[in-house]
Structure formats: C-alpha cells, structure tokens
Structure 1
Amino acid sequence: MKKSRRKFSASFKAKVAIEAIKEQQTIHELASKYEVQATQINTWKREFLSNAEAAFTTGKPSSKDESKEKELYSKIGELQIQVDFLKKVLGK
C-alpha cells in the first residue's frame, strides 16, 4: 500500500530549523525526536538561513516592481483610449 506524503506546517519547519541552528542536539537526534529525515532538517535549516533577511526587510516594493507596475498602468491607459475610440467610431 502506498504511503501518503506528510505535510509539515511552516511553524513546525521553523521550530525544527531553529533547534538545528542552536546545535544543542545533533541533526540525527532531532531527526529521531521529530520523526523526519536528517536531510530534510538540513534542507529546512539551509532554507531558513537563506531567507532570514526577509524578517528585516520593509514592506516596500522594489524598484523593479514599481517600474513593472508603471508599465502596466501605462498599457491599461493605452487600451482604455483604444476602447473609447472604437466605441465612438462604431457607435455612429
């Protein structure tokens, strides 16, 4: 019989990753404690450390996002003008 995949919540992953970072227990001890593979704990630890700077970033969108937004609003304006023109031409 096929075993279904277990899904872990983000809070559980963070808790395990923080314990792995503390290094008070070995990865293998944590793996047996939480019943997950040691490689999985290492992966969560690596992801946690690589995304740690997100906790200190502000909610402002980046300049790349702002330029994309301006470009999209410009396109919306062009399309609105075309729609209005076609309504006038075809309405007569």
Structure 2
Amino acid sequence: MSKKRTKYTSAFKTKLVLELLQNESTLAQIASKHNILPQNLANWKKTFLANAEIAMEPSKAVKEYKEALIKSQKQNERLTTLVGKVTVEKEWLSKKLVSLGSSNLKQLVDLKPSLLSVNHQCQLLGVNRSGLYYKSSVNHTKQTIKKHITKVFEQIPIYGEKSSSTIT
C-alpha cells in the first residue's frame, strides 16, 4: 500500500520556517528532525518570504482585495443591467414579430453563413426550419382551370359560383 499524503497546517509550516530563519540549524537538519522533505521546507520558506510584506502591511492587502471586489461588483452590475435590457428588447421584438405573417417571418431568416445559425434564427423567430426549404409545386392544369373560370365569370357575372364551376 502506498503512503497517504500528509497535509501540514499553516501554523506548523510557519513554526518550521521561523526556526529555519533563526539560523540555529540548517535546512536539512530541520527537515530530518521533523521527517519532511527539504524541498518542501525550502518552498515554504520561499512562500513565507514572498508574503512577508502582507504580514507587515495587512491594510495594503485588504485595500487591494476590496478594490478588486468593488471593481468586480461594478462590472457585475453593468452586465446584469445589460442582460436585463437585452431580455426586454428580445421579448418586445418577439411580440412584434408575431404580428407579421409566417411568410414574412421566413423571409427574415438569413440562409447565408452569419453570426447566428439558421437553426437559431428560426428558433428566435418562431418558425419551423423545415418550412424554410419547402417550395410548393405549381399544378399547371389547376391554374389554367382557375384562369378559365375567372374569365367566364368576368364575361358573364350573373353566373354564380356553382354555374361557373359547371361550365368547365
């Protein structure tokens, strides 16, 4: 079985680093005395010395922390208002788009590659994507029959719907 990794408390680390800084014994002696790796002790010393300024001037570290906190809070507020504004605009536009017809909505979709995919555009407009590509086929015989019926109806307007359709 492997040995479990030991975690040392910050108080223990500080005690060893202070003992090392007093120069009463060497790094290797202190490490062997407490059964830890010398590299760990060297790293703790480096970290301790790098952060010693914070111990002497805690107000500076707190001030920097508070400034960063205030800055991030302002940015958060700005982004929150921006998201709210965009949400309101989107809801307003979606209500206005309902009044257009489905054929007009389909014309708004940009099929060329753009920032929004076709699928996302259809989702925003509330249009079925499958309806975009459908082209209705024209039945020419029905078209000619309809033209003939309207021509007859224009020539003899007294014919009603039933009479017009029985002529053809």
Are 1:69 and 2:97 matched, yes or no? no
Query: How many residue pairs align between the two structures?
Result: 92
Structure number with larger C-alpha Rg: 2
- What TM-score, normalized by structure 1, do the two folds share? 0.77
The 1:69/1:46 distance shift into structure 2, 3 A limit, reads: same
Aligned Cα RMSD in Å? 2.5
Runs (5+) with no aligned partner, structure 1: none
Q: What corresponds to 2:114 in structure 1?
A: none
- What TM-score, normalized by structure 2, do the two folds share? 0.46
Q: Percent identity?
A: 24
Cα displacement (A) at 1:31 = 1.1
SS at match of 2:7: coil
- The AA in structure 2 aligned to 1:61 is E
What is the distance in 1 between the residues matched to 2:24 and 2:74? 50
Q: What corresponds to 1:60 in structure 2?
A: 63
Higher relative contact order, structure no. (Cα contacts within 8 Å, ≥ 6 residues apart)? 1
Residues 19-62 of structure 1, C-alpha deviations (whole Å, 9 max, x = no match)? 11111111122112211112211111111001111222322235
Q: What corresponds to 1:36 in structure 2?
A: 36
Cα displacement (A) at 1:88 = 6.5
What is the distance in 1 between the residues matched to 2:4 and 2:26? 28
Between 1:68-77 and 1:4-13, the stretch displaced more is: 68-77
Cα displacement (A) at 1:73 = 1.4
Q: How does 1:68-87 map to 2 (within 5 A)?
A: 68-84=72-88
Cα displacement (A) at 1:12 = 0.8
